[in-house]
Structure formats: C-alpha cells, structure tokens
A and B are shown apart, each in its own frame.
Chain A
Amino acid sequence: MIHSLFLINHSGDIFLEKHWKSVISRSVCDYFFEAKEKAVDPENVAPVLQTPHHYLISVYRGKLFFLSVVQTEVPPLFVIEFLHRVADTFQDYFGECSEGVIKDNLVTVYELLEEMLDNGFPLATESNVLKEMIRPPNILRSVVNTLTGGSNVGDKLPTGQLSNVPWRRAGVKYTNNEAYFDVIEEIDAILDKSGTTVFAEIQGVVEACVRLTGMPDLTLSFMNPRLLDDVSFHPCVRFKRWESERVLSFIPPDGNFTLMTYHVSSQNLVAIPVYVKQNISFFESGSCGRLDITIGPKQNMGKTVEGLMVTIHMPKVVLSANLTATQGNYTYDLATKVVVWDIGKLNPQKLPNLRGSLSLQAGAPKPDENPSLNIDLKIQQLAISGLKVSRLDMYGEKYKPFKGVKYLTKAGKFQVRT
C-alpha cells in the first residue's frame, strides 16, 4: 500500500523521508515539483499524480505537503485519509503541525511513522494507542529527560492494541473527573447580491473533552435528535443504539476527541445571523472604485454576534484601498490583494460600516467581477439549529463526574456574492 512518505515544505525542500518497504529515491518527487510549479497555488496541485512507475498521492496541511508514494492500486481516499490522520497525530502530539516542530521532534516523528504503518498498511492510528508507546513531549519531561537521560518511549507495552476498545487505554486515573462537550455549529451559506439566500445549511460537530477515571460508559442524549439528518461518529459510538433510540452510547477515548459530526436536516430553515449591505463598484474611467459595506444583525436569536470579520479577495488590478471603518480596523495585503476587516462584536445600535475608495492600476480595464465577501462570526452559547443536549449519564463507575455542555455557532463557508 503506502510505500514511502516525504514531507515537503512550502519552498520545496524535502525535510523528512520514511520508507516502509524498500527505499525509493527522493528524485521521484521531481514529478510533484513539476506539478506544483504548474499549479501556482499549492491548493491546486492535483492530489493524485501519475508517474511512469509510481503514483504520488499528496495532501496539503499547515503549509506542508505530505507526499506518499504508492506502486499499486489502492483507494486514493484511503491514503489521503491516512495522511490527514498523520497530520492530526502530529497536531495532537506537538500542538501544531508545522515544519519547525517536526524538525525539532524528528526522532519522535520518525518513531510515530514507524508505528502507524507496517509494510504500508495502517497498524496503529489511534492516538491513545500511540501515546502509550511513544509519549508526547512536554516541557517537564524534556527537562527531566535531559537531567536523567530518560526517554520518551513508553516502557510499558502497547496493551491498547489488544483491547476491544482500542481507543481507550486501561488504568486511567484522575482526581477531578470531568466530561465537557462542545456543540459547535457552522453555517455554510451563499447569499446573493440582494441578500437572499442561495444556499444555506448547518453542519455541526460535538467535540468532547473527557477526563474520567476507569472505564466509564457514557450516554449522551439530545432534546431534539430529530433535527439531526446525517451523522457520522467516532468509532466508539454504538451505532445500533443510535439507530433504535437516538442516543449516543459510548466508552469515551481519554482526552480530546470528536464525538460526532452532523448535518441538520434541510427541511429546517437556516437562520442567517447577519445581513450585509454592500456596494462595491469600479468606475470605467479614472481607475478607481468605491466600497461601502454595512453589517447588521438579522436572525441571531437574541444573542450577540462576536468575532465578526469580513475577508474580501480583491481583483488583481486593485492597487490600494483607502477605507475608513466605523468599528474595528482593516488591513489590505498588497501581495495577496486581500482586505481583512476585523470588526469584533456587533453592536445593533451602531452598525459597523466600512467605506472608502479603491484605486486601480492605471490603464487597466475595470474588473468584470465584484469580489465576494467571506464572513466570519461567532455566537457564544447558541446552537443555531436549536439542538440541545438533554442529559449525560454515566454507567460503570461510581464517582460523580463534573459535566458541562457549551454551545457555539460559527460561520463556516459563509459567502456573500456581490
């Protein structure tokens, strides 16, 4: 299956290679560099490339390319999903997935890769099993290790691999037992010029942070599970219980994990929390343009809209922007032609407004398209679909855990066409 892996940074240096079968020369990456050169934008590099003897499957994460080499037929999603899982694992171990931390933890990374695949077939991808074998670095341990010459390899054997619940290690102990759930919903929407909704849907995710002693068996139930149209679960969730009773029953992994993701049924209307009044126009003569954007609250269920931010990808001919914002501040990146207007909290009494003029390259024709606005926002303590967790029950352990649910609504891919 997966033959080799190369990690390549933004500028095209290979800074890590790992082979699970015989060694493949790194010159195979030249085909990839060629494609990368052609694609200008790293996002536009085709994830699957064919070379005379190999197939290159790559993902782009955190300004790094994870490039894997395969020689025979394999489902491409299998490889892509695995590579993302590798990136997730790095994130989990080192807090971020960047060239810097990978170089700093080169040996740990190499050991991780060694354990994750055997002969190119995934062996242990559960972060919980991996952590048992290879301890994630932390400051205290690295100080102790330096002093005592200790190691970051677990001296215990990876018993997690043997259990029926491979996602949870045995013998977990906490003095404070707590289970927190974050219900995070994202609104994906496309609004057209006049503000009518072209397309809108809500995607949600339940993130959990569970620190419980022993082997607790949890049951999470919702007030209105009918809202959920399409769901996908962490493997720990018993699907049959969901099918028959619409409750989430599971033995949780230890620590942070994504319990489920869901899609709210499309029959329900999607509340759009803000409206945008915009007027962006370019003039035929004088190579300039005008921009005027106002944002106001719409259906926000009586909550405050926070973290409001507008991103505008301007046409290439826009040279500079001379704008004034009544609230927040804006930046215009000359290289990428992106205006970012960071508004912050939305005050319904005094609506934020950004207006001013844009100057275009002299002599260039006026752009055909008005740039679309990407909106970012947050609403605390609200799940916009109305989903509510009704209760969390624990079986199998005797202590009383501390429980909590938080709701958050965010803008996902929220775009206003102009």
Chain B
Amino acid sequence: MSASSAFNDEKGGSSSVGEPEYGHDPASGGIFSSDYKRHDDLKEMLDSNKDSLKLEAMKRIVAMIARGKNASDLFPAVVKNVACKNIEVKKLVYVYLVRYAEEQQDLALLSISTFQRGLKDPNQLIRASALRVLSSIRVTIIVPIMMLAIKEAASDMSPYVRKTAAHAIPKLYSLDPEQKDQLIEVIEKLLADKTTLVAGSVVMAFEEVCPERIDLIHKNYRKLCNLLIDVEEWGQVVIINMLTRYARTQFLNPNINESLLEEGGGGDKTFYGSDEDEDEDDEEKEKKAEAAALAKRKPYVMDPDHRLLLRNTKPLLQSRNAAVVMAVAQLYFHLAPKAEVGVIAKALVRLLRSHSEVQYVVLQNVATMTIKRRGMFEPYLKSFYIRSTDPTQIKVLKLEVLTNLANETNISTILREFQTYIKSMDKDFVAATIQAIGRCATNIGEVRDTCLNGLVQLLSNRDELVVAESVVVIKKLLQMQPEKHSDIIKHMAKLTDNIQVPMARASILWLIGEYCEHVPKIAPDVLRKMAKSFTNEEDIVKLQIINLAAKLYLTNSKQTKLLTQYVLNLAKYDQNYDIRDRARFIRQLIVPTEKSGALSKYAKKLFLALKPAPVLESPFKDRDHFQLGSLSHLLNAKAGGYQELPDWPEAAPDPSVRNVEVPEWTKCSSREKRKEKKVEKPFYSDSEGESGPTESADSESDSASGSESRSGSEVSGSGSESEESEEGSESEEEEEEEEEKDKKKKKKELKNFFFFVSTIAPSSALKNYELLHRITGEGLSVEYCFSRQPFSPDANMVAVQMQFTNNATSDTKNLHMEDVKLQSGMRVKEFPEIELLSAGEMATAVMGIDFCDSTQAANFQLCTHTRKFFVSIQPPVGELMRPIFLTENEFKKEQGQLMGMNEITEKLTLDAKCRNEHAIVQRVTTAANLSRVPCGSDKEFAGRTVTSSSLVLVTVATKEEGAAQLTVNCEKMVIGTMLVKDILLALTQ
C-alpha cells in the first residue's frame, strides 16, 4: 500500500478531475500522457525482488485489464514472473498471459516451458492448472504442444485433470479446427470415463466439436443416464439437452399410437381431456403418411432405455437451478408420452417465482407448450394472473399464456380478469389485453358476442390508444359475421370524427367500405367527411379513403360519383407515389371509359369479393419445431451452432448398440455407492418423519441416537451416543404415533369412501336412542337409531333402525307394531314381524317413517306375544334431511336464493375442543345428516329435507379465538330455527 500511496502523490491530482469515480483507485487509467511514466513505475516494481511489490504491481495491472484499459506494453516485464514462487503473483500473471498472449505470440512462447514443467508436477491440481492456462493461450504455434498435453491429461490418474482436459478440447478446436479428428479420439476416450466430474465437461466438448457423431454416445448412453443425478448442475443441462437429441434419433415416438387412435375416431378423448383438440389436426396432417404405414403394426412398447432416460431425469425437476429444470421440462415435452408430460407443469410454474429474466424465458416456453398441450397448465391458470408491478414484457407473456389457456369452461374467469387489466395504467399492456380478448373471441364462439360488446364499450374510453386498439380488434371480429352487427358499424362510423390514431381510422374506413351495403345511408356521408380532410390524413388512411370511394362508387354510384372523382383527383397529386399509383389504378378499373379493358366489368367482383376472416393466431404457434429452452426458440430464429431436433425415426434403430459388455461402471462412483447403501436400509420408516416434538433450541436433548441404532449405523463410531436416556421416551412416542397413524388412515379411508358415495354414507357415528328400557320392557330392551341410509321402499321416509335385545330368560315371540298414531300426513312403514327372539339374543329391524318434515313424534304400540308397550319415536331435526352433493359454486348460488327470512344467523363461541376444522365438521355432521361441500372455503354443508326436498344449507365461518358464525339457509323456517339450535348446542358443548 505504501507504494501505491507514493504513486498517488507523484501523480498528483491529474486523474481525479477527468474520472472522479476512479479517483480512489491508484491503478486507474488517468490521463494518457502519464501512462508511459506510470508503466515504467510498474515495470520497476515487477523487476524488484520483493514479492509484495510484484503483487501490488500485478494487482494494478489486472485492475486495468478489468476496466478494459490496454496493458499490453507490459508483456515482457510480466511474463518474466511466470515462474514466481508467490502463488498469488503467479495466478495474476496467468490472468495477464491469457488475456494478452494472442497479441504477443512470440513473447508468450517464453512462458510455455513453465507450463510444460507444470504438466509433470506430482500434484494433480498443479497439473490441471498448468493445462488450463496452456490451453487458454491462443497461439497457433503451440497447437502440437497443446494436443500432446491434452492427450496425456486425458489418461491422467486424476479425474480433475481429465476434466480439465475435456475443457481444453473446445479451446484447441476453436484455435485449429484441423485437429478435429484427433480431438474426436480424445472425446471418445473421455466419454467412456466413469466419473461424474468428467461427464459434464466432455459432453460439452462433444457438443462443440462433433455433435453429429451421435454414434459415440451409444455405448455411454446408459452410463450417462445413471450418472446424471450426481453430475454438477451445469453439466446436467448440457447432458440433458444432448440426450434429448439422441433419444429423438434412437427411439420411437411414444405418442404414435395415440395419434393413430385419434384418427380412428378420437377414442381417447376421455383420457386426455379437451386439450388435444388443436393437436389432432396438426398431428393428423403430420402423421398421416406415417400412420398408414404403421396401422397394422404391433402396439407401441417403450424402449427400456427411453424409459431409463425419463425416469432418471425426473428428479432433476426439483433442482434449484432453473436451467436444469427447464432442460428436463423440454426433454419431457419432446420425448415423453402425453400422459406423463404433465409433471413438468408444476416445476415450470415454480420457476415463475424466480428473477424476472428467468420468468421471461420460462413464460416464452410455457407459451409454446400451452399451444400443444393446454390441459397441462390449466390447473395453474391463476399462477399466470398479472400483477400491476410486473414488468411489461412479463405481463404481455402472461397474457399470451392466459389466452392460450382459455376454453369454454374458464373463459368467464379469464374475461373477468382481463377486465381489470384493461384499466391498467400501462397502455402497451392494455393494448395487448384488447388483442387477447379479440383472440379469445375468435377461438371460443360462445363468448364472441360478450367480447364484442365489451370492446364496443371500450370505444368510449378516454384513452385514444385504447379506442384505436379496440377498433382494430373489432374490425377483425366483425369480419366473421358482419350482417348481425350493422349498428356497431354505425357506431364506429361516428367515431371517425374524434379518433385520430391512423391505424384505427383506416380500420373504420375499411369496415365501412367493405360492408357499405349494411350501412347504405351513412357510408356516403363518411366519404364526404373524409374527402374534406383527405389532404391532412396519414398515408394508410388515404389509401383506405380511396378504397372506400371505389367501393361506394361501385355500389352506390348515384350518390358518390362526384365525391369519388374528387378524392381520386386529390390522390392523383399526392406526394406519396403509392397513393398516386393506387388512384390511377382504381380510376381505370372503376370508371368505365371507351378505352377501359375487360377488367372494369369485373371491378365489383374484384373489390367486393368475399374476404376470408383473419385468423388471430398466437405468435407462438409452431415454435416448437425449435428445441424448447434453446436460444433459437426464444428468438424464433436459428442461432449459430443450433442443432436441429431430429424427427422420430419410423423404425427404431437397433437398440443393442447401447449394450455394454462389462456393466461395472456403477462401482466407480463413490457417491453412487453411498446411495446404494441407503437404499438397502428399509428401516428408516415413515414414522420417523413425524416423530417427537423437537422444536427450537434444544441443545440438550439431542435426539439423534435412537433412530440411529435402529437404522443399522450408517456411520460407524457414533451409534452409542445417548441412547439409554432417549430410547424409553421415544418408543412410547412411537406407539402413540402408530395409533394416531392408524386413526388417520381410517379417517382417510372413510374420507375417500365418503367422497365416492357421498350422498348416502353417514360420515360420523350414529347416535342411539332408547325406545324401551329393559326394566319397563320386562327384559326386552329396544334401541333405535336413524341409520341415515335411504329407506328403499319409500324415498320420502326416514329409515329407523331398531335393535331388539332380549335380556329376559324366556323367549319373546311375534314382535310387531300396532295401533300407530300419527299426525296428519305422516306415514309409517312397519318393520316386518320378528317371530322369535330367543333369550339373550339380539335382532335388528328397519322401519320407515315419513315425518312430513316435522319433529312430531310417531306413536305406536310395540307388541310381543304377551305384552304391549306404548312407545314413540321423535326425530331430532337433523335427521329429517339427507345429504346432497353440491359444489361450492352451486352452494353459493343456492345460498344467494335463500336470503332474508330464510336465513338465520347466530354468533357463537366454539367449544375449546372443537376449534379445528375436523372437529367442527364432525360435530355438525353428527348433529344433522348433511354433507360437507368439498373444497369450500368455509365449512359448508348441504342437504335436502326428506319429504319436501327443500334445501338445507349450513355454513360455519370461524374467526379468531373460537368465535364463529353459524348460518342456516332453509326454505322451511321452522326446520331452520330448530337446526340452528341443535348445531349451536353441538358446537358449543
């Protein structure tokens, strides 16, 4: 530092004025005149004996290089220090050498011998670094030396040196392409390498030097697939991209049968949903020829090697590196059977959380994918919603994706979302949104009118750009069915007075001209106005005025003849030659003179021919002929060095080429071994994952040991840590867990069951009521419960299941019911007589009662062969209904219709034990025979009363600290009130 400050003094303030930002740094450029002097100073420092001075000098020189300042005149002084003992000086000298060797070839040769010595060093790292620098020096004379060094390094013991050799290959190739053949030999050798360290680098070399030599991969294919997960991330990207290409040449199209099926009548619709609609057409064309040949072929069987690739790349979707995820995603997109491609969607959506540049690239690729495989991204629709803080380019891409994803089912949500976008402050984005609406309207017929109406409303927007864009889009939409919309055309004709954007004016004029027959009164007037302002219009507007004039002349020459003449005369003297030409051309065509040829007869046909409606297409259509994720795909143009993604072969090449004689490679990677060891231990049971409560800073209770002893000591020597103390408690815990797990499992099963048989099955335990106590019944006891099963003989009846137990010592005979007393309207279906109930036995019977949706009791006599008992069954209100299945939307809709008098709301504080969702659901469903609305945001339940089928809707909205609100909507107010009471009771106790 002392030296540098001295230098600063010497230099004075000379540099500080010109470039203040460099002022603090002594090595900055400064003024030219002082350069030589300063370099003398540096030379002196480099020549000195002190390492510290040399280091200081080198640091300043490197800083100069970093700033892009020229330091080449110091070459001789620097290169002398290449053999310096100080490792940092040496490194910096290397940096300098690599930068300037190309310019000072002769002097650079002085350093070569140092590196040659380094190549023989016993330390692998020194060998590697010597090779690295040597190969980076771009001096043609040393090509033979480099070649030799690379060949030697390729068979080095150390994988690190071999990796460096792989890196050196493309360097040498770019220096001297003549060496290709020799280099391919080295690549072939290194491809056979069995370490993960080398794999990525050598594939990179392969891609740069000889990507066409796909035959070199055969023998290494399986090895690469298996090593892949352990290769460093950058290598993974390169390998995956290369293997995608390889697979395209070696395996059969896994979707070939599906395309055949589709042609056979679209039989697979049910499997792949609606996403294949567009696909079908494309594929049909593409595959027709192929399919014909393959029609009688045996069913497609995936090559095991193809499967291996898919299987081994899948885990990499979880990589933290966006490039790796994208590489796997494109591999799946290009290679996987349709049914499996879906897995990549989730990972790609995840990348949307990343930096905006990553988003930009990912969205471009998603946009392409959504055209071919819409279904894949449909579940993630909302992830593409736009935030006002997104950069415009991201917004536009998201919009593109949303538009591609639009279909009949989700269009209403998407359009609602678009409505918010239209109000955005970002006008470019608003314009893009309007175009997107236009595209949705053309693609989905159902919403065309809605969209059109929406766009017409935009015509009165205050922002001119918005209006202009709407006009352009409306024009395209109207072309599809003009006859219906003459009033829109009229409306637009009025706009010509106000709107100034040329493109919009031109669009309106074209529209009026094209459909002048629909607006016969307005069209000539528009032409009159336009004729007036003709000279001040933009060129595209002028052209359309001429068009309009011509069309009107042909259809309505009486009114417009003079106007047309006038416009054509104006155009004749226009500055723009295009307009002058057009005017002449049109005059000849439409105005009949003696000289005019046969053409003018057909003028009407020429001008007013039926024009096909424009197809609004995604700009991402057909981009997938570029390999996804590639630069070429992003730019939609072939980049230099892009390797075309080959088409699938018609017949698979011989798969045996990939067979390797000695499949011993697995043993070479130590990491691989580690993994295998892991797999062998099936002990690591699931339960461990959810074990004891070891939260936060508990340095004392290290819980490592217990599980370790069970797992068969992965790492020796640490097994016997504090086992004794822990084991007891842990095993207990585990038991508990086990129990809990069982319970959970059952619950889960129940849930599943419930889901499938949702309307019928009771979701909670049934409550038993006593009908006859065994003392009053003299030994006969009867219990009943509401079984919540449909009563099959009569759907309007509630099924009551009765259980008879004979506790007496003698048999009971002829159990039946008599003398049923009911309120009007109620009905009972008696249970069949039980002829004999032996002592100590039990029997069950089911009866049905129609309670007429009231809680009136059904009274009757229960008779045995000796006695009669008066009994009554009074239903809790919750049993007067049966569950129905509603979706959340239906629920909300129904609820909306049952407001006012039909809605009862009660606030409550939940019982301490039932604050979680599960408990609430359980209690509500126990209290009333209702079913939970799946996926509802609140806890919502639905049912219908048994007799009158009135809807019963229950909502429990929970708030903090156990506060909750219960809402019951039911047409039958009495039932509603009673139900509120019952559920309230159930939830608060």
The chain A residues found within 8 Å of chain B, CB to CB, are 1, 13-19, 21-23, 26, 41, 43-44, 46-48, 50, 55, 58-61, 70-78, 80-82, 84, 103-104, 106-107, 109-111, 114, 118-119, 121-123, 125, 146, 149, 151-153, 155, 157-159, 161-162, 164, 166, 188, 190, 192, 198-199, 201, 203, 217, 221-225, 229-235, 238-241, 243-247, 249, 258, 261, 263, 267, 269, 297, 299-302, 313, 315-316, 365, 367-372, 374, 388-398, 400-406, 413, 415, 417
Taking the nearest CB of chain B, how far is it from the CB of A303, in angstroms?
Answer: 10
- B138 proximity list for chain A (CB < 8 A): 22
Q: B819 an interface residue at 8 Å Cβ cutoff?
A: no
Q: A17-B68, A246-B686, A403-B698 are in contact. Are A162 and B124 (CB under 8 A)?
A: yes
> CB-CB contacts of B635-670 with A at 8 A, as 1s and 0s?
101011111000000000000000000000000011
A401 to B387, CA, bound (A): 44
Q: B289 an interface residue at 8 Å Cβ cutoff?
A: no
A46 to B63, CA, bound (A): 30
- A224 proximity list for chain B (CB < 8 A): 690
CB within 8 Å of A: which of B479-531? none
Q: A73-B631, A221-B691, A394-B704 are in contact. Are A44 and B320 (CB under 8 A)?
A: no
User: Which residue of B102, B319, B702 is within 8 Å of A400 (Cβ)?
Assistant: B702
Tell me if B52 and A149 are in contact (CB < 8 A). yes
Tell me if A413 and B699 are in contact (CB < 8 A). no
> CB-CB contacts of B298-334 with A at 8 A, as 1s and 0s?
0000000000000000010011111101110000000
Pairs A-B, 5 closest by C-beta atoms: A149-B52, A72-B641, A153-B88, A391-B694, A151-B88
User: Which residue of B88, B319, B361, B389 is within 8 Å of A313 (Cβ)?
Assistant: B389
User: Which residue of B201, B671, B695, B715 is within 8 Å of A396 (Cβ)?
Assistant: B715
- A417 proximity list for chain B (CB < 8 A): 388, 420
A26 to B70, CA, bound (A): 13
A57 to B125, CA, bound (A): 33
Q: A81-B322, A107-B59, A315-B425 are in contact. Are A118 and B167 (CB under 8 A)?
A: yes
Q: B598 an interface residue at 8 Å Cβ cutoff?
A: no
Tell me if A109 and B315 are in contact (CB < 8 A). no
Tell me if A158 and B25 are in contact (CB < 8 A). no
A324 to B87, CA, bound (A): 63
Q: B404 an interface residue at 8 Å Cβ cutoff?
A: no
Q: B273 an interface residue at 8 Å Cβ cutoff?
A: no
- B841 proximity list for chain A (CB < 8 A): none
Interface centre among A75, A121, A225, A246 (most CB of B within 10 A): A75
Tell me if A369 and B692 are in contact (CB < 8 A). no
Tell me if A198 and B385 are in contact (CB < 8 A). yes
Q: B435 an interface residue at 8 Å Cβ cutoff?
A: no
Interface centre among B201, B349, B362, B640 (most CB of A within 10 A): B640
Q: A26-B68, A77-B322, A123-B167 are in contact. Are A401 and B699 (CB under 8 A)?
A: yes
Tell me if A50 and B637 are in contact (CB < 8 A). yes
**Chain A contact surface mostly:** mixed
- B360 proximity list for chain A (CB < 8 A): 46-48
- A415 proximity list for chain B (CB < 8 A): 387-389
Q: B814 an interface residue at 8 Å Cβ cutoff?
A: no
Cβ contacts A to B, 23 pairs, < 8 Å: A18-B66, A26-B68, A59-B357, A60-B357, A73-B632, A81-B321, A82-B323, A106-B63, A107-B92, A111-B91, A119-B171, A121-B170, A162-B159, A164-B670, A203-B353, A232-B319, A247-B689, A369-B424, A371-B425, A391-B692, A395-B718, A400-B699, A415-B389
Please tell me which stretch of B232-240, B559-567, B824-832, B972-980 contacts chain A, meaning at least 4 of its Cβ atoms lie within 8 angstroms of it.
B232-240
A388 to B696, CA, bound (A): 10
User: Which residue of B87, B315, B937 is within 8 Å of A239 (Cβ)?
Assistant: B315
Tell me if B170 and A119 are in contact (CB < 8 A). yes
Tell me if B323 and A155 are in contact (CB < 8 A). no
List 4 additional A-B contacts (Cβ < 8 Å) besides A243-B315, A245-B686.
A41-B392, A269-B937, A365-B462, A415-B388
Q: A78-B323, A390-B694, A393-B703 are in contact. Are A73 and B643 (CB under 8 A)?
A: yes
Q: A199-B385, A258-B320 are in contact. Are A80 and B708 (CB under 8 A)?
A: no
A151 to B721, CA, bound (A): 43
Taking the nearest CB of chain B, how far is it from the CB of A312, in angstroms?
Answer: 10
Q: B151 an interface residue at 8 Å Cβ cutoff?
A: no
CB within 8 Å of A: which of B673-706? 674-675, 678-679, 684-686, 688-700, 702-704
Tell me if A119 and B136 are in contact (CB < 8 A). yes
A238 to B88, CA, bound (A): 37
- A118 proximity list for chain B (CB < 8 A): 132, 136, 164, 167
Tell me if A395 and B174 are in contact (CB < 8 A). no
- B347 proximity list for chain A (CB < 8 A): 230, 232
A44 to B394, CA, bound (A): 8
CB within 8 Å of A: which of B54-71? 55, 59, 62-63, 65-68
Tell me if A190 and B63 are in contact (CB < 8 A). no
Tell me if A238 and B358 are in contact (CB < 8 A). no
A359 to B665, CA, bound (A): 75
Q: B382 an interface residue at 8 Å Cβ cutoff?
A: yes
Q: B961 an interface residue at 8 Å Cβ cutoff?
A: yes
Q: B762 an interface residue at 8 Å Cβ cutoff?
A: no
Interface residues on chain B, size class: 35 or more
A243 to B679, CA, bound (A): 11
Taking the nearest CB of chain A, how far is it from the CB of B779, in angstroms?
Answer: 52
User: Which residue of A1, A41, A393 is within 8 Å of B707 (Cβ)?
Assistant: A393
Q: B51 an interface residue at 8 Å Cβ cutoff?
A: yes
- A110 proximity list for chain B (CB < 8 A): 62-63, 65-66, 95
Taking the nearest CB of chain B, how far is it from the CB of A339, in angstroms?
Answer: 14
Chain B, residue nearest A178 (CB): B699
A198 to B414, CA, bound (A): 11
A243 to B686, CA, bound (A): 11
A239 to B328, CA, bound (A): 16
Taking the nearest CB of chain A, how far is it from the CB of B200, in angstroms?
Answer: 9
Q: B634 an interface residue at 8 Å Cβ cutoff?
A: yes
Taking the nearest CB of chain B, how far is it from the CB of A130, in angstroms?
Answer: 13
- B357 proximity list for chain A (CB < 8 A): 47, 58-60, 80, 84
A77 to B425, CA, bound (A): 30
> CB-CB contacts of B357-390 with A at 8 A, as 1s and 0s?
1101110000000000000000000110101110
Q: B204 an interface residue at 8 Å Cβ cutoff?
A: yes
Taking the nearest CB of chain B, how far is it from the CB of A298, in angstroms?
Answer: 9
Taking the nearest CB of chain B, how far is it from the CB of A99, in angstroms?
Answer: 8
- B353 proximity list for chain A (CB < 8 A): 188, 203, 261
Q: B391 an interface residue at 8 Å Cβ cutoff?
A: yes
Q: B99 an interface residue at 8 Å Cβ cutoff?
A: yes
Q: A47-B361, A395-B714 are in contact. Are A367 and B425 (CB under 8 A)?
A: yes
User: Which residue of A13, A161, A190, A258 is within 8 Å of B387 (Cβ)?
Assistant: A190
Tell me if A107 and B420 are in contact (CB < 8 A). no
Tell me if A114 and B87 are in contact (CB < 8 A). no
Tell me if B382 and A15 are in contact (CB < 8 A). no
Q: B536 an interface residue at 8 Å Cβ cutoff?
A: no
A109 to B66, CA, bound (A): 9
- A122 proximity list for chain B (CB < 8 A): 232, 234
Q: B123 an interface residue at 8 Å Cβ cutoff?
A: yes
Q: B346 an interface residue at 8 Å Cβ cutoff?
A: yes
Chain A, residue nearest B358 (CB): A80
Q: A19-B99, A59-B355, A109-B66 are in contact. Are A76 and B634 (CB under 8 A)?
A: yes
- A392 proximity list for chain B (CB < 8 A): 694
> CB-CB contacts of B451-486 with A at 8 A, as 1s and 0s?
000000000011100000000000000000000000
Q: A149-B51, A217-B714, A246-B686 are in contact. Are A73 and B641 (CB under 8 A)?
A: yes
Tell me if B318 and A233 are in contact (CB < 8 A). yes
- A199 proximity list for chain B (CB < 8 A): 382-383, 385
Tell me if B66 and A225 are in contact (CB < 8 A). no
- B382 proximity list for chain A (CB < 8 A): 198-199
- A70 proximity list for chain B (CB < 8 A): 631
User: Which residue of A26, A149, A390 is within 8 Å of B692 (Cβ)?
Assistant: A390
- B875 proximity list for chain A (CB < 8 A): none
Chain A, residue nearest B55 (CB): A151
Chain A, residue nearest B100 (CB): A23
